[in-house]
A and B are shown apart, each in its own frame.
Chain A
Amino acid sequence: MRNPKSQIRNPKSPTLSQLPFFAALGEHDLLEIAPYVHQRTFSPGQIITVEGQPCQAVYCVAQGVVRMYRLSLQGREQVLAYLGSGQFFNLVPVLDGGPNLATAEAVTEASLYSISCQRFHQIMRDHHEVARAVLEHLAAEVRRLSDLVEGLALYTVRARLARFLLAQAAGQPSSHQWTQEEIATNIGTVREMVGRTLRDFAIAGLIRRERGRTVVLDRDGLEREAAGG
């Protein structure tokens, strides 16, 4: 990555100066960092990092979508995040020296920037603006993960599914086709429970289940379900 202001292989990829951690840096600093930034492309379903394995690098999504998740010994997944363009991941093991916190998998074809652990440490030491941006990012992650823990620990599956449906419906336009299994991994339950609860919601008139789409009919009713811990 020689010129931080130029696009790299794909014209849709953000430039180095457009990445949130490096936005406050001047051109001279960006030119200093650029040789340490590498770009790789992953196919849908390809694993990028594996939970528990030694950390190799910090990554930033240039293009595409990456799913972060943890896996139980029984094979149950809990999705931690979906990441898109400009979002960094694998920072915690770089900072604490531990293994990878989660498995990262390309959902779509994904182009990623990577910086080795050693280089990333060096960049943070040399550029306090980057260190500050990393701290702010980690603080936001603590808040987001605290909300996730609250949802998993304090709300029923019924409430979590209602929250999920409302959040997805509010995020329109999105044509993502969800499966019951995918929803289960997002709200910390199993496929069968998602199916049963969707049926309950349909019987209660909160949703209508059509071929290829689920329609939220009664937003107020679903919000009441979402609030019911």
Chain B
Amino acid sequence: MNKTRTWPQIDETLCNLCGRCVEACPCRAVKLGERGPIFDCPEVCPQIGGPVVCFLCEDVCPTGAITCAFEIVLDTGGVKYDSVR
């Protein structure tokens, strides 16, 4: 159950090349390739200024081709960042 996944993951068989992920990305970090989106999501988000990520590409994908997998952890009192709206 603990398998490593690249991030975000693309299932090219589900992608219909609609381009919504490209339009939604506030960092302009998504380009549309021939078979699906190509991501260059920066480690530090210039829009938010921290490790926080917007997940907008996943949210707008109408077919579920984009998945941003995550583990769920309790806060250990590290640096706080603004929530993504």
Give the interface of A toward B (CB within 8 A): 44, 65, 82, 107-108, 165, 168-170, 172, 174-181, 191-192, 195-196, 198-199, 202-205, 208-217, 219
Interface membership of B40, Cβ < 8 A = no
Give the interface of B toward A (CB within 8 A): 1-5, 7, 9, 41, 43, 51-53, 55, 58-59, 64, 67-75, 80-81, 83-85
Shortest Cβ gap from A69 to chain B (Å): 14
Distance of A212 Cα from B71 Cα, bound (Å): 6
Contact, CB under 8 Å: B51 / A210: yes
Shortest Cβ gap from B82 to chain A (Å): 9
Contacts of B68 in A (CB 8 A): 179, 211
List 7 A-B pairs, minimum CB-CB distance, nearest first.
A177-B69, A168-B72, A179-B67, A65-B1, A210-B51, A202-B83, A169-B74
Distance of A177 Cα from B68 Cα, bound (Å): 9
Contacts of A165 in B (CB 8 A): 72
Distance of A23 Cα from B73 Cα, bound (Å): 35
Contacts of B80 in A (CB 8 A): 208, 217
Contact, CB under 8 Å: B83 / A208: yes
Contacts of A178 in B (CB 8 A): 69-72
Contact, CB under 8 Å: A202 / B84: yes
Distance of A211 Cα from B81 Cα, bound (Å): 13
Distance of A208 Cα from B52 Cα, bound (Å): 7
Given contacts A107-B1, A175-B2, A179-B67, contact A216 B72 (CB under 8 A): yes
Residue of B nearest to A167 (CB): B72
Shortest Cβ gap from A12 to chain B (Å): 15
Question: A211 contacts which of B2, B51, B74, B85 (Cβ < 8 Å)?
Answer: B51
Contacts of A205 in B (CB 8 A): 83
Contact, CB under 8 Å: B72 / A214: yes
Contacts of B51 in A (CB 8 A): 210-211
Given contacts A174-B2, A181-B64, A195-B58, contact A212 B70 (CB under 8 A): yes
Question: B84 contacts which of A168, A172, A199 (Cβ < 8 Å)?
Answer: A199
Residue of B nearest to A65 (CB): B1
Contact, CB under 8 Å: B3 / A177: yes
Contact, CB under 8 Å: B70 / A177: yes
Shortest Cβ gap from A192 to chain B (Å): 8
Shortest Cβ gap from B16 to chain A (Å): 16
Contacts of A180 in B (CB 8 A): 58, 67
Question: B73 contacts which of A82, A202, A214 (Cβ < 8 Å)?
Answer: A214
Contact, CB under 8 Å: B83 / A203: yes
Residue of B nearest to A168 (CB): B72
Contact, CB under 8 Å: B69 / A209: no
